[in-house]
Chain A
Amino acid sequence: MAFKGKAHTFGDDIDTDAIIPARYLVSTDPKELAKHLMEDADPEFPQKVRAGDIIVARKNFGCGSSREHAPIAIKGAGVSCVIAKSYARIFYRNSFNMGLPIFESDEAAEKIEQGDKLEVDMDSGLIKNLTKGEEYQASAIPPFMQDLIKTGGLMAAVKKKIGA
């Protein structure tokens, strides 16, 4: 499976208050939350983002609160995946639990520029920069996480377990 989309770049330490400010946490609806995605980092972002686009950030993406509204809003806006140097722990865990593909690559995070067209292969983690004609390799997704994704996320695994 491959994702194709335009890159939107961000800096270090993008926190969950920037991804989805707390004032909008009175809803759990993906479309509603998506209207305010990244608003405190870039007020125009909700208007700019198109289905399939890719968020590219530097280190420690998703730090701060444990709110799942962050990956929900990202998915709600149709963002296909996120690429960063590193992720905050709870955001990392939430993303896999909810089936939002995220990739770690220092090189990709440094070289990709705003508006570059990207193609990302989900299985191999190979990131192609179609605008620049470059390729970057993201670190492999740990086997445990791959299993989670294959089962359809954490709750699908729980459903299987309780036989509901």
Chain B
Amino acid sequence: MEMTITEKILASHAGAEQVKPGELVNCKVDIALANDITAPISVKEFNRVGAKKVFDKERVVLVMDHFAPAKDIASANQIKVVRDFAKDQGIINFWADGRMGVEHAILPEQGLVGPGDLVIGADSHTCTYGALGAFAAGVGSNDLAAAMITGEAWYKVPETILFELKGKPGKWISGKDIILNIIGKIGVDGALYKSMEYKGDAIEHLSMDDRFTIANMAVEAGAKNGIFHPDGKTREYVEGRFKREAKYYESDVDAKYCERIEVNVGELEPQVAFPHLPSNVKGISEVGDIMVDQVVVGSCTNGRYSDLETVANLIKGKKMASNIRLIVIPATPAIQREAMSNGLIDIFMDAGAVVSTPTCGPCLGGYMGILADGEKALTTTNRNFVGRMGSRKSEIYLASPAVAAATAITGKISSPEEVA
């Protein structure tokens, strides 16, 4: 049959024996997701076409994370549109307020998405769930409205690029360094319309959190999805958490790939993406002296517990540089609570950091750390476009939590080696 894991998941949801790249397929969706920015448009469209009911009350997931808790009257009104809709429709998975976490962190954590799923989301980083061996791709609000009504979505079966990750990552090398290195190599449209599939002996060394980070940034290379093969770590993560039956797919040995790219992760040094594209990547040794004003740790890319732990371990007992504002944003309430119980929040606050409730906040320039004209930030988020975090005259550098912690201590972009 020679299919890739992506082709197998698309085929199974289209009720087909086999699908081929280029083919258009209509698929049943397992989960339809929207947030406080994209859902209001979907709700408007839902009402405009006279739809009465969502296809499944349990499979529509609405997360109020971008400008929430509401940052102003306009965003409060947007959230209210979605809140009212969720209530009317009896939607169980309305995540807001004290339950709210950044969508792509909370869906896997709460077991709402799992291996073999087909997930459609009105948010470009929906591709994060590929870490679990699911097919997940971002769309716009119209597509999501259609899926909320019909429970279906159309896809063009993508071609797949196979990334073979080799070697054992060094002490300071995380999922973020691997994906930044890949985007630096192939460019922001290097995988346009394609699927990015990961294989190789390095993967057993990657935690689920590392894999989420790698899958998360597939869209930064233009890809439709990024996907890992489920293994023992996946099963361990999913068991007792995922509410539905997991389906473990794997690519056939003779599956067809349009390209194969080898990445030796054993040789990588920490990576930094320079303004204003995620592909302007340099190794930490080539960065030079760059003073920054703000360090942000958070987002759907790197706001998970292990990310916070890495930062805490590095800054514990040290002083932050006087030029630095450090903002730490746990991605979900569960992460925040664990960080609190284990003393991480104390470590951050002792170092002089601002610790926020879960939110997207500054990642998209919403609030909680907007940059002024001429300021520079080093952040663990995923995009460094002009104006993404505030002023169009500001600059954003992307890196791992370890580099973020080192930078907070020294005041300039630094390797964790320097402070460990």
In the assembled complex, B113 has its CB within 8 A of some CB on chain A = no
A23 in contact with B37 (CB, 8 Å): no
Name the one of A67, A88, A94, A158 contacting B49, with C-beta atoms under 8 angstroms.
Answer: A158
Complex CA distance for A164 and B52, rounded to whole angstroms:
9
Known A-B contacts A26-B78, A89-B193; the reply to A63 vs B222 at CB < 8 A is yes
A26 in contact with B192 (CB, 8 Å): no
Min CB gap A105→B, angstroms:
16
Min CB gap B65→A, angstroms:
13
Complex CA distance for A21 and B390, rounded to whole angstroms:
9
Interface residues on chain B, number (Cβ under 8 Å): 52
| Across-interface contacts of A25 in B (CB, < 8 A) | 37, 66-67
In the assembled complex, A149 has its CB within 8 A of some CB on chain B = no
In the assembled complex, B143 has its CB within 8 A of some CB on chain A = yes
Please name the residue on chain B nearest to A61 by beta carbon: B189
| Across-interface contacts of B392 in A (CB, < 8 A) | 21, 39-40, 43
A155 in contact with B145 (CB, 8 Å): yes
Q: Which 7 residue pairs are nearest across A and B when measured between Cβ atoms?
A: A26-B74, A164-B50, A94-B140, A60-B189, A159-B49, A40-B387, A97-B142
A66 in contact with B74 (CB, 8 Å): no
In the assembled complex, A68 has its CB within 8 A of some CB on chain B = yes
Name the one of A22, A88, A158 contacting B222, with C-beta atoms under 8 angstroms.
Answer: A88
A21 in contact with B387 (CB, 8 Å): yes
Please name the residue on chain B nearest to A94 by beta carbon: B140
Min CB gap B4→A, angstroms:
18
B residues 93-151 with Cβ under 8 Å of A? 121-124, 126, 138-143, 145-146, 149-150
15 CB-based A-B contacts, threshold 8 Å: A17-B385, A23-B366, A40-B387, A67-B38, A88-B189, A88-B192, A88-B222, A89-B224, A93-B140, A94-B140, A144-B154, A153-B142, A154-B146, A155-B142, A164-B50
Known A-B contacts A26-B78, A28-B40, A158-B150; the reply to A59 vs B189 at CB < 8 A is yes
A residues 150-164 with Cβ under 8 Å of B? 153-159, 161-162, 164
In the assembled complex, B364 has its CB within 8 A of some CB on chain A = yes
Q: Which of A18, A67, A158, A162 has the most CB of B within 10 A?
A: A158
A residues 38-52 with Cβ under 8 Å of B? 39-41, 43
Q: Please report A residues at the B interface, Cβ cutoff 8 Å.
A: 13, 15, 17-18, 21-23, 25-28, 39-41, 43, 59-60, 63-69, 71-72, 86, 88-90, 93-94, 97-98, 144, 153-159, 161-162, 164
Name the one of B142, B189, B193 contacting A63, with C-beta atoms under 8 angstroms.
Answer: B189
Name the one of B74, B188, B366 contacting A60, with C-beta atoms under 8 angstroms.
Answer: B188
Name the one of A17, A72, A89, A158 contacting B146, with C-beta atoms under 8 angstroms.
Answer: A158
Question: How many residue pairs between the two chains, A and B, have CB atoms under 8 Å in the bound complex?
Answer: 141
Interface of B (DSSP majority class): loop
Complex CA distance for A50 and B392, rounded to whole angstroms:
24
| Across-interface contacts of B122 in A (CB, < 8 A) | 66
B40 in contact with A18 (CB, 8 Å): no
In the assembled complex, B58 has its CB within 8 A of some CB on chain A = no
B142 in contact with A159 (CB, 8 Å): no
B72 in contact with A26 (CB, 8 Å): yes
Complex CA distance for A52 and B194, rounded to whole angstroms:
33
| Across-interface contacts of A41 in B (CB, < 8 A) | 386
Min CB gap B76→A, angstroms:
9
A18 in contact with B37 (CB, 8 Å): no
| Across-interface contacts of B123 in A (CB, < 8 A) | 65-66
Complex CA distance for A153 and B44, rounded to whole angstroms:
15
B143 in contact with A154 (CB, 8 Å): yes
B residues 351-366 with Cβ under 8 Å of A? 364-366
Q: A21-B387, A164-B49 are in contact. List 11 more A-B contacts (CB 8 A).
A: A17-B383, A25-B37, A59-B189, A63-B188, A64-B219, A66-B138, A66-B140, A68-B142, A89-B222, A144-B154, A155-B48
A66 in contact with B38 (CB, 8 Å): yes
Min CB gap B335→A, angstroms:
23
B residues 36-66 with Cβ under 8 Å of A? 37-38, 40-41, 44-45, 48-52, 66
A22 in contact with B277 (CB, 8 Å): no
Known A-B contacts A13-B189, A60-B188, A67-B37; the reply to A22 vs B49 at CB < 8 A is no
| Across-interface contacts of A161 in B (CB, < 8 A) | 150
Complex CA distance for A40 and B189, rounded to whole angstroms:
21
| Across-interface contacts of B75 in A (CB, < 8 A) | 26
B140 in contact with A89 (CB, 8 Å): no
Min CB gap A45→B, angstroms:
13
B44 in contact with A90 (CB, 8 Å): no
In the assembled complex, B24 has its CB within 8 A of some CB on chain A = yes
A64 in contact with B385 (CB, 8 Å): yes
Complex CA distance for A66 and B123, rounded to whole angstroms:
5
B51 in contact with A164 (CB, 8 Å): yes
Min CB gap B274→A, angstroms:
14
